[in-house]
Amino acid sequence: MPKRGKKYTASAALIDRDTKYGLDEGVELVKRSSKAKFDESVDCAFNLNVNPRHAEEMVRGSVVLPHGRGKTTRVLVFAKGEKETEAKEAGADYVGGDDLVAQIQDGWFDFDVAVATPDMMGVVGRIGRLLGPRGLMPNPKSGTVTFEVEKIIKELKAGRLDFRVDKAGIIHIPVGRSSFEANQLADNIKAVAETLARLKPASAKSPYFRTIGVSSTMGPGVKLDTTFATDYL
């Protein structure tokens, strides 16, 4: 077992590893146990009772956090003509076509999400092998290939997050920062739980929410009572 520092040990002493805390108490503990000198990310892990190897049990989607994620999302948009103007007016950080492709081919990736209008996918396809492995390829399933440019940009800037269950049936998702108020973190976690409940596959076994944990970047994990999530089912 790796040796832990004094700050982590002190934080861990606040938490009973065998206890499943209520949502409000759990996020309060995460805030109290966050002792790093920087504003730590607070992340939530939802362990779902699904088998992602079966296509019908692949849980994926997006959620707009009511209080955002505490981080500015840099949005790049591949568009032309009126849609290029619309993207700029909607607040996109970078808008273009061949010029952006050239920059990316040269190794530039200073953006968090890429959006493209359908008529630009031929251009974007030239850098698919660069964007794909980084999770940056625009995708119709996530709504990032669309002519509704203004709508998607505003959602992304408001804190929309895309998620997908991993091979172990777990969804890891950031829900804010340690500087957030406890009620803001709780609201964001509830929004994710409600979305996951709505996406529950018909073939998923019970209990759908196996376990839920929350932690800050450098802090210990806190187990949550899943009742608040199952109430959405």
How far is residue 164's CA from residue 166's CA, in Å, rounded to a whole number? 6
Q: Which of 2-6, 74-78, 176-180, 196-200 comes out lowest in average pLDDT?
A: 2-6
1: pLDDT confidence band, cut at 50, 70 and 90?
very low
Tell whether 53 is covered by a domain: yes
Kindly state the helix (H) or strand (E) to which residue 121 belongs, with its residue range.
helix 121-124
Same domain, 23 and 52: yes
Residue 9 has pLDDT above 70, yes or no: no
pLDDT digits (tens, 9 = 90+) for 182-197: 999 999 999 999 999 9
Tell whether 8 is covered by a domain: no
Residue 60, C-beta contacts closer than 8 angstroms, at least 6 positions apart: 141, 162, 163, 164, 165, 199
Last residue of a domain, one of 157, 177, 194: 157
The CATH number for 215's domain is 3.30.190.20
Domain count, the chain: 2
Contact 221, 26 (CB under 8 A): no
Q: What's the pLDDT at 15?
A: 86
Last residue of a domain, one of 132, 157, 182: 157
Q: In Å, how far from its chain's centre is CA 118?
A: 24
Tell whether 1 is covered by a domain: no
Stretch 60-88: mean pLDDT, rounded?
A: 94
Q: Name the burial class of residue 171, with classes exposed (0-12), middle (13-18) and buried (19+) by CB atoms within 10 angstroms of its CB.
A: buried
Q: What's the pLDDT at 56?
A: 95
Contact 81, 97 (CB under 8 A): no
Q: How many CB atoms lie within 10 A of CB 121?
A: 15
